[in-house]
Structure formats: structure tokens, C-alpha cells
Amino acid sequence: MKTIPGGVCAAKGFQAAGVRCGIRKNSTKEDLSLILSACEADAAAVYTTNLVKGAPLYVTKEHLKNGKARAVICNSGNANTCCGNGVAVAEEMCEAAARVCGIDPADVIVASTGVIGQPLDPTPIRAALPALYASLGADETASLNAAHGIMTTDTRVKSVAVEFSVGSRVCRIGGIAKGSGMIHPNMATMLVFLTTDCAIDAGLLEKALKTDVRNTFNMTSVDGDTSTNDMCCILANGLAGNEKITREGADFEAFMKALNTVTMHLCRCIAGDGEGATKLLECRVTGAATLEAARKIAKSVICSSLVKAAMFGADANWGRVMCAAGYAGVPAGLDKADVAFSSPAGTVLVCQNGFHHAFSEEEAKAILSEKEIDILLTLRDGAFSASAWGCDLTYDYVKINGDYRT
Amino acid sequence: MKTIPGGVCAAKGFQAAGVRCGIRKNSTKEDLSLILSACEADAAAVYTTNLVKGAPLYVTKEHLKNGKARAVICNSGNANTCCGNGVAVAEEMCEAAARVCGIDPADVIVASTGVIGQPLDPTPIRAALPALYASLGADETASLNAAHGIMTTDTRVKSVAVEFSVGSRVCRIGGIAKGSGMIHPNMATMLVFLTTDCAIDAGLLEKALKTDVRNTFNMTSVDGDTSTNDMCCILANGLAGNEKITREGADFEAFMKALNTVTMHLCRCIAGDGEGATKLLECRVTGAATLEAARKIAKSVICSSLVKAAMFGADANWGRVMCAAGYAGVPAGLDKADVAFSSPAGTVLVCQNGFHHAFSEEEAKAILSEKEIDILLTLRDGAFSASAWGCDLTYDYVKINGDYRT
């Protein structure tokens, strides 16, 4: 397996584009993206568990009932959530996209992201669709344009692809993502669009996605707020020409591994580009009694405002890590736990067997001043481990969210 | 019932003091407090549910097994948590306090608050105890001194008292509290010491405390971090001379109401003095299907970083309120919900039946620029309501917690 250019267009038969249609009044940023497959693709998706759901999610769920799709249309700048006629607007987006692409509206996945509660006017979207279709491309630039079109407060574009082998054939899987604030997925995720040319049974595709998301996007949190518009979907058009993967085994494992490489990359991008973030944090819990305990503790630590603020200040305040582990809601032998901080500058053990372990404050400061920090919590309860990803809490998070709408 | 001066000393027979013993090296603030009852008192307490518990909690639990106490000793600047010999140090604090007071060490409640994971040296505490005892007083100043001694990052002192009638007798209840960060109680609270001269059965005292805490301190959150050292205790010495309250009825109700007045005041003080806070927020949920739903939704809204940052920016971003209600983990008919913001400057309805309700941005800004904001979420699911208290998320929260230890 190796990383390749092309992002969401890396897989054969996928094109993408992103343009500015003018949903945000005071912005020159792209705000409308399209992804199109040359032929019908098997499709699977997971969605937010928030009771308040964006209107596009209802429409997409309906369209994916048959497990097939050909295109994704997504706008940024307005979430099309809590605004009355949202479902009609989302359906209109699908119809308009289907018309320019010459496909069935029921084969279109629709998504929106941005402010909640303001009516979304479909006029600029409809008007921009011919130009969006005309600018479709199949290269890295096209993927980046589409990735730009779905960004809100993101500061960095998120696009990646890998190639892998199934039998004698080379397959590709790639994707784009947006996500910076309101990031705390629960059995779903932010907006992630994945494409592959691998031929794979629709049931296995769904299983692969659901299994993977549990260890990647669902273990990522920027601010503890589970969005109303989270969605992660994958299109598999089979154009790589491999013998279709129809059962679990080596080929399915290869697919899972490639999928995980792409999603893990996007997760780290999202966490590292969290609103206002200066640092990417990973909390790795090992030696837990159960997988659930490992996951809950890792996520509790990564979500702690106090841990996040300490990391911003490069302060080795490990008591906050223990505190967050202690309120994770799962049993754990924290009186026998170790805590260490690790980064490219080194590793420092700060707590051993639940108690203070003497360390050099200077060394700890150097380690915590790096851009990527691992918080290592070692339990002695069992053999399970899990990782969670997040970011530091900074002045800029407050600034960005103190007045987001204007 | 009326508010009276005296705080934790308002009830007959209670004295208090606070001095600086020198636990914090670079501070001139008081860091050691003592509360003493003239006679043995019935006592009840609730504690943090964090798995990682401060050593003083283990000692206090042991001392309260017989439901009796006479004194509280509490230091700030060091939590005496995760530091090896913590229980021995906490016991030594009790013994030293008991010695100067001439009481049994088992009648002493001990508490600590401050940094986790650094050994607490009992030497300065032992050395300061005679002076602390000598400075005991029974007036407002004495209560304020004690309240100062238990503060950490608090910017305002928290002390209150009321008087109420039981039969023909006047009784008093008062208290002091500390709490500013790591505030997200769960079946317990920050540090709160309550005193009353009302004679009340020990079982009813415990019932009153546990019932009240569920609606007050457990509905308060500054940053979602449940502390390792939370404790709320009450001493009832019976010196008011009222006929002992031995069953539920009018007298017990009067006691509960007085207790609630004191705890509600302290809750609002704690939330309004949250680390870096510029605003006190109250989320009031009405019309919920169950009490649990009302509580969980109110707390979810008050804990949302995005809601908190919007309130800091005086931004009427009600979509974030709906979003937080949607991930509270309880069923709710949010498609029929209303959202309004209220403050001394007025009330503005921003969402009706789950959708945008036209409002004046200018008027909303004026309302949200006040120091105390009510977020009103009206459901149409049933007859239950609940309130939760918190504060806005500000630059100063990040500043305070970016480098707390140094």
C-alpha cells in the first residue's frame, strides 16, 4: 500500500469540483462541491446520532435505501438544519445536480454544513451547478477544489488517497473531509466523502465503514459538541476490475487496511485543524480491562478542557489526565496507572503507579512544545488499547466561536 | 426566611477562621481554614464520583461513619491527591486540628483543593494551626476569612446565610464554597461547607442534603471536568433550641427551603465565578417528558463549549442550543421546541417550533451583553422542568488553565 495523489479523484472513474456559488455573503471561498462517479456505485454511510438532524441527512438516507449512488453534492456556509423547508431544499439540490449530470436524483447524496437555523436559499446553488459540472476534473487539483468547497472554519484542506492490491489488481481509495468545530462524533462523523474503485459486496462495504469509523472518526473530538450534520459516506464503483470482494478474508483485510489508512489520516487532519488548535493530541490508552474502557478513557482525556488547556500551555499537568480518566465512567485501576507525554522531542514519564514520578520540567516543556503530542496512559488491568484524537484549547477557539455567525 | 450576615458562622455555636500557612510559595493568599462547632453536630456529606479521589475524602468518609463531627479543616494550594502518603497527611491534619481544638480527631472533616499529584507537606499546616485556632471568630469577617482560605482560582469569595423558623424558634443555615475550575459535579460537588443550628434528625439531614444537591450543585458546570476532591458537607449542632425535626412535614420543608436558598446562592456564585467567566448562564428547560430529560438537556446546553463561546460573544446563535439539546442522550421533541434568551435587558424569542423565529439582532445583542443570561428552552413533551448553571467560555479560561501549576 502506498499514498498517491488524487484524493477523492484517485479512484478510477471519479471526478470532483468545487466552486463559489455565493452562500456566504462576505467570502470568496468555494462553497459548493460535486463528486461524480462514471457509473453506478455501491454506497454506504453513517450519520450523526444527534436528535436534531440536518435536512440533507433525511434525504440522503432515503436515497441510499437501495445502497446505490453516483454523485455527492455538498454546500458549506449553511447547514440547512432547523429551517422549515429544509427537506424540500435538499431534494431540490439533488434534482438540480442530477439534471446537469444526467443521472437519477435518487442517486445523489446531499450534505450541507455551516450555520444552523437560517433558511438555505437554493437559488445560488441551482445557478452555479452548470459551472460546477463544467469544472469537474479527475486529478489532485480537482479533489482539492472539492475539499475547499466543503470547508467552514477549517484552515487546512483535507484530502488523501492510497493504492493497494486485491489479487493481481491495483485498487485505489481516497477521500476528502471537513471538520474543525462541533466535532465530537458519535457512531458517525463530520463530513467525509470516500471513493474507491475496488469492487466489493455492498454488505461488506457497509461493514467495513461502520467498523472503521468506530476506531477513527468516533474517537475524534475537538470540542465535545456532536454536530447535527455529521455524515461519512463511501462510494465503490468497481472500476478497478478486481475480482469482487464477497467475503471476509485477505482481500477484505487489505481493503480495511487501506480504508483505515485514509480515515486515520483524515482524522488526524481534522483534530490537528480543530478550531484554534496549535497542537494535535493523541491519547493512547493501553492495558485496559475491556475495549470499551480503553475507548471511553482515551476519549474522556482528549475531551477534557483542562487537559487541552494544559497542552496549549505546554504544562505537564498530568493530574488532569488522571482526573479525566477517573470520570470516564468505566472501572479502571488508576492507582496502578502510569502517565507519560511523548512527542518528536522525546518521552517523559510523569506518573508511575498512580503517583508523581520525578521529572525535569524543562525536558517536559520541550516535549510539550512540539506540534504533535501523545498522551500515554498505561493501565495494568488487561490487554485492550485504544487511541483518541483531539487538539489543544486556545484563545483562538474562543475567538472563532465567540462570534461565528457574523 | 431572610438573608443574614455571618456566612458559615451565622448559625449559633459556629466559629471559623482562615490564615496563610504557606502552601503556595508565591502567594500571600490565605490557604488554611478551620470551622468549629461549640458542641458535637450531626453531619452528612456527599463526595465526588471520580474514581481518582483526593486522600482527604477517604479520611472524611471514615470520620463521618458515625454521622457526627465538630470541625472542618481545609487547605488550598494542593489537592493531596495522587501523591503516595496522602491518607497519612490527611490524618495528620485531623490530629493537629483536633489537638488545638481539644476534640477527637475522628470528629474532624478534612478537605484539600489545588494541584493534583504533588506531595502535600503537612509542616506549614501543623505550624499554623495554633494561630488559626487563635483567630477563630463568629462573625461575617470570620466566615469571609475561612472562605478565602479555601479559594484557588476563585476571584470572588462565596459566603451566605439565611434565617428561618421552625415552630416558634429562629434557626440559621449558612455556608461557604470554593469552585472555579474543574467544576462538573456528579452526585457530589466542589468544596462546600454548610452549618446550621437547627436540630434535625441525622437521617433527615442526610436526605435533605442529597436531595438538594441533585438540583443545585449537580446542575452546575464550569468546564465539564468532575473534580477528584469534590465534597459538600453540612454540620447541624442543634443550638437553635427548636424541637428536633424528626419527620417530613412543614418543619422539614422549611429546612429544605432554607438549605436550598443557601445552596442555590452558592451555585450561582460558583458558576458566575467560573474560571475566566464574564457571564453567569442559567439554562431553564420546561415542558420536558421526564425530570431526567429536563436535567440532562439543561446540563448538555450549559456544558456546550460552542454555546458558552457564543454567549461570551453575545451572539444569539440558538442553533447551538438546539444542537446541544439534541445530543443530550434523552428523547425530546425538539422539532416542537422554542428557544429564547433572557436577561435584565429583556427577552427575545429566537426559535419557535424548532425553526428560526425572526428577531432583532440588535435587541438580542443588548440582551446577551448583560452579566446574567437565561437560556430558555421550552419543550412540549410534558410537565417537567430543570435548571442548570454555568458560565461563558473566554480567553481567560484558556489563559488561567494554560499554565496553572507555575
- Give the pLDDT confidence of A306-349 residue by residue, as tens digits: 899 999 999 999 989 999 999 899 999 999 999 999 999 999 99
Mean pLDDT of B359-379: 96
Name every chain A residue with its beta carbon within 8 A of the beta carbon of B53: 326
Cell of A17: 469540483
pLDDT at B188 over 50: no
**pLDDT band, residue A404 (cuts 50/70/90):** low
Please tell me the CATH code under which domain A2-272 is placed. Answer: 3.60.70.12
Do residue B317 and residue A52 have CB atoms under 8 angstroms apart? Answer: no
Task: State the average pLDDT for chain A.
Answer: 92
Cell of A113: 454544513
Strand partners, A284: A376, A387
For residues B288 and B381, the answer to whether their CB atoms sit within 8 Å is yes
Name every chain A residue with its beta carbon within 8 A of the beta carbon of B322: 52, 82, 116-117, 228
AA identity, residue A387: S
pLDDT, residue A189, reads 46
CA distance B112 to A293: 29
* N residues, chain B: 406
Q: What is the pTM of this model?
A: 0.82
Name every chain A residue with its beta carbon within 8 A of the beta carbon of B326: 50-53, 226, 228
Cell numbers 465526588 correspond to what residue? B48
Catalytically annotated residues of B:
189
pLDDT tens digit string along A185-225?
654 447 889 999 999 999 999 999 999 998 888 888 877 77
Question: What single string gives the DSSP state of each residue in B194-227?
Answer: EEE---B-HHHHHHHHHHHHHHTGGGB-SSS---
Do residue B116 and residue A50 have CB atoms under 8 angstroms apart? Answer: no
β B280-288/B372-378 pair status:
parallel
Cell of B174: 449558612
pLDDT at B80 over 70: yes
Name every chain B residue with its beta carbon within 8 A of the beta carbon of A83: 355-356
What angle, rounded to 10 degrees, do the helices at B291-303 and B318-326 form?
130
CA distance A11 to A159: 13
For residues B202 and B44, the answer to whether their CB atoms sit within 8 Å is yes
Do residue A309 and residue B49 have CB atoms under 8 angstroms apart? Answer: no
| B280-402, CATH topology level | Ubiquitin-like (UB roll) (3.10.20)
Strand partners, A165: A170
pLDDT at B404 over 60: no
Burial group, residue B22, by CB count within 10 angstroms (0-12, 13-18, 19+): middle
pLDDT, residue A161, reads 94
**pLDDT band, residue A10 (cuts 50/70/90):** very high
pLDDT, residue A186, reads 54
Selected for mutation to probe chain B from A120, A225, A330 (highest B CB count within 10 Å) is: A225
Do residue A327 and residue B51 have CB atoms under 8 angstroms apart? Answer: yes
Which residue in A has a C-alpha nearest to residue B119's C-alpha? A356
pLDDT at B189 over 50: no
Do residue A402 and residue B315 have CB atoms under 8 angstroms apart? Answer: yes
Name every chain B residue with its beta carbon within 8 A of the beta carbon of A182: 306, 320, 323
pLDDT at B313 over 50: yes
CA–CA min distance A334, chain B (Å): 7
pLDDT, residue A152, reads 84
**pLDDT band, residue B185 (cuts 50/70/90):** low
pLDDT tens digit string along A131-182?
999 999 999 999 999 999 999 888 889 999 999 999 999 999 999 998 877 7
pLDDT, residue B224, reads 75
Strand partners, B200: B245
pLDDT, residue A188, reads 42
Report ipTM for this prediction: 0.81
Q: Residue ranges per domain, chain B?
A: 2-272, 280-402
pLDDT, residue B187, reads 42
pLDDT, residue A321, reads 94
- 3-state class of A384 per DSSP? strand
For residues A303 and A221, the answer to whether their CB atoms sit within 8 Å is yes
Domain B2-272 matches domain B280-402 at the CATH topology level: no
For residues B252 and B208, the answer to whether their CB atoms sit within 8 Å is yes
Higher pLDDT residue, A376 or A47? A376
pLDDT at B101 over 80: yes
pLDDT, residue B405, reads 57
What percentage of residues in chain B have a pLDDT greater than 70? 97
Out of B116, B305, B309, closest to residue A322 by CB: B116
Mean pLDDT of A77-105: 95
Strand partners, A115: A78
CA–CA min distance B313, chain A (Å): 4
For residues A401 and A275, the answer to whether their CB atoms sit within 8 Å is yes
Higher pLDDT residue, B396 or A181? B396
Do residue A312 and residue B398 have CB atoms under 8 angstroms apart? Answer: yes
The yes-or-no answer on residue A290 being catalytic is no
CA distance A318 to A149: 40
pLDDT tens digit string along A19-61?
999 998 878 899 999 999 999 999 999 888 888 889 999 999 9
For A14-18, B214-218, B256-260, which range has the lowest pLDDT when averaged over its residues?
B214-218
